[in-house]
Structure 1
Amino acid sequence: MKKNTRYLLQSLFAFTVITILFSSCIKDTLKRTRTYTMYTPVYKERAVVLSSINSNASEAIDQAGKIYVKDNFIYLNEVNKGIHVIDNSNPASPQRVAFLSIPGNTDIAIKGHTLYADMYSDLVAVDITDIHNTKITSTISNFFPGRAQFYGQATNFNEMIVVDWIKKDTTVEINDYVTPPVPGTCNGCYFATLSSSADAIKSSSTGTAGSMAGMVLMKDHLYAITEMHSLGIVDITNETTPKLDTSFFAGFDLQTIFPFEDKLFLGSAIGMFMFDVSDPVHPVAVGEFSHGRACDPVITDGHYAYVTLHAGDGCGGSSNELNVIDVNDLKNSKLVKTYPLTKPTGLSKDGDLLFICDGTDVKVYNAANPADLQLLQKITSKDPYDVISGDKKAMVVCPDGLYQYDYSDVSNIRQLSFFSIKN
């Protein structure tokens, strides 16, 4: 009996030791870590922000955004911080002249001497008659309700505005069963994309936006993507005091707007939506074209629409291609041809020349026959994402700065200048 009892105790002890060791092994196996990017907002009083829009012209550019061209000036967005104003009277030697400090800014449009910009959820009108002494003349509050939150934080209060973010990577321990919530983290945040191109650059009361623009002007109205599925319309007959007309559902997952004559072409992550705005405040849907899920800038010459699709960047999908679509009959648009590409972003058209930012090049095509594009030239660049072409000159925005090229001889495209974003 004693022998059996001793044997039982020894067996129980051995089982206990094995269980503890095995449990410890499992615990070690399941231990994992995950790194989160934490964003802590830096606030400033709203009154101070609105009164200090004029800032240092030599402000460094850390993250170049959308580009807008009017007359001899380039307006280059610094993502979520403001707008750099560059005198481009001599494309061989562009000169920075001002910086407009507008927290939360990603989009730009100009009519006459008034610049319109998003300031997080607000639309502001800025008098730029004297670019060195600008002032906000009017504000439409909460025009962009989708921008009221950024990195999971409230960005625009009545008295305080976020003017910067402190970024910090934080590593935490997790296990296979539970992922602990980490307040204020950015896990797959959406970052504002960069603008692309448009038609020939001309001197007019308004300027040239790109194919990635989310806000455009047409006649006496401003059209802007205010939320993922909504388009807002603002009356700018009196340019210094814009008035909200209306907003409406315009399609799912909207990303870009391209105006042509009395039509609006809206790019979305699922396709292209077309509207007739002959009556500016009552847009009429006249057609749509569906494609696989992808990021989707759109331009048109009135006969054909050119749509670049690229995968990732918050859009999902796996397509990297150019779709050429016949839009002569908007109600019955049809795909002409699909061209495989590497990872296209911005695009622009000047006459029969089509410019596409793709991978490490800006590709220049002869588009006289949209069903048979002919590659003429490649401009080797550093991850180009934005191009505006016109008057035989092209502006290309890259991570390291703004390049300008002369393509009067397409077989011998030459660089005119480079404007470093770190100046």
Structure 2
Amino acid sequence: MCRTLVQALRIDPSRIDVHLMTKGSNPAAEGQRDSMSEYGAKWIVVLDQGSRNGPPIVPGAEHGWESGHPEAVRTMVVDHHWLAEGSPGPQGCLMLNACHHKPVATASLLTWVLCRPLWSGAQQQLAQDQIDYVAVLGTMGDLSVNVEWDPPFPDLVPEVKKWTKKRLGSAIALLNAPRRTPDFDVITAWSALLASTSPLTILDPATNKHALRLYEARDAVGLETERCTHTPPKFSKDGRVALLRITSAYQVHPSIATRWTGALKSKNLQVVMCANDGYNPGLVNFSCRIAQVAKKRGEEVNIIEVLNSYADTDPEWKKEVMQAVGGNAFNGHPQASGGIFPNEHWDKFYDLMQIGVPPDGSIKESVSKGKKLPTQKNNLLAMGFSTSPKKKRETTTS
């Protein structure tokens, strides 16, 4: 988007500002809206994180995209995160969201589709050099390096072959790493991408002054992920959710949830959740992924629906938590969801899921009826999982 505005549409760079969300925040948060208001912008494009219902992005946006009001601020949201059908998103915005259209186009791919036609015929080679590889990085960052570029997706296979999946995957891992550190160093990743001329220049410290910091962040995140990975899970009473609780200043909870998806074999399991109470003081950040065993059973698991099924058992609490977080209780995608709860709300949600509560007809109930305890079997299979999970590359961006 930035390169198209400057290079294709010839807009003076001094007229363009880039605002990055702060750690654990979103465009609906009052602090973010105040910060964005200070730019005095008349046109705002929100990329990849504005799909929740809420107040206008900034004062003046409530007048709407086509408004002739003299104080109107025109705002557009380009996204693929879940938004219920009929929901408007931020008040007054023009919403472009692909979440209900399979295969779901990522925000990066939607942005490319919007921008590519704005480059003139004489600029086609420049467009290929400037934005095609960025679209590939963004799309693979969400959907993995093995994403299929079949219709209706555009054919960007030539870009993949040009740079190779291995190099593209390495660049994605480097760009993802800084925001996962306690410093939430998003600006370094943004600066490295903006300074790049290809995926190779992201990887090479000789051509990108930000690359060393990217490597340092990647290595630190890798060590922290390994430290937290071996946390044993606890199951919900109905067996649908396996929860791993960690305390880390790093944003490693999405990676750990992903790593464990293939290791747990319980018959009712649908969702693997990792909750981190050390990332933001006073808050619990949690990420969820679909368990591979549920996919093998042929189940179409919608994580957001599963989480809401627990929250809906206490409607008053759900209303309170939605007010506390400034929007939906659970965000993301049906296949990869999560949220951020204040500690007290997380404790309540933990109880609603009945984590660690034995299922009906379990061994505790048998004891109460005078039945003999079975012989203990100290093996991992008896605990509901097979082996420590193999390392799996986490390539999802948020």
TM range (shorter): under 0.3
Compare the two structures and name the one with the higher strand fraction.
1
Rg larger in 1 or in 2? 1
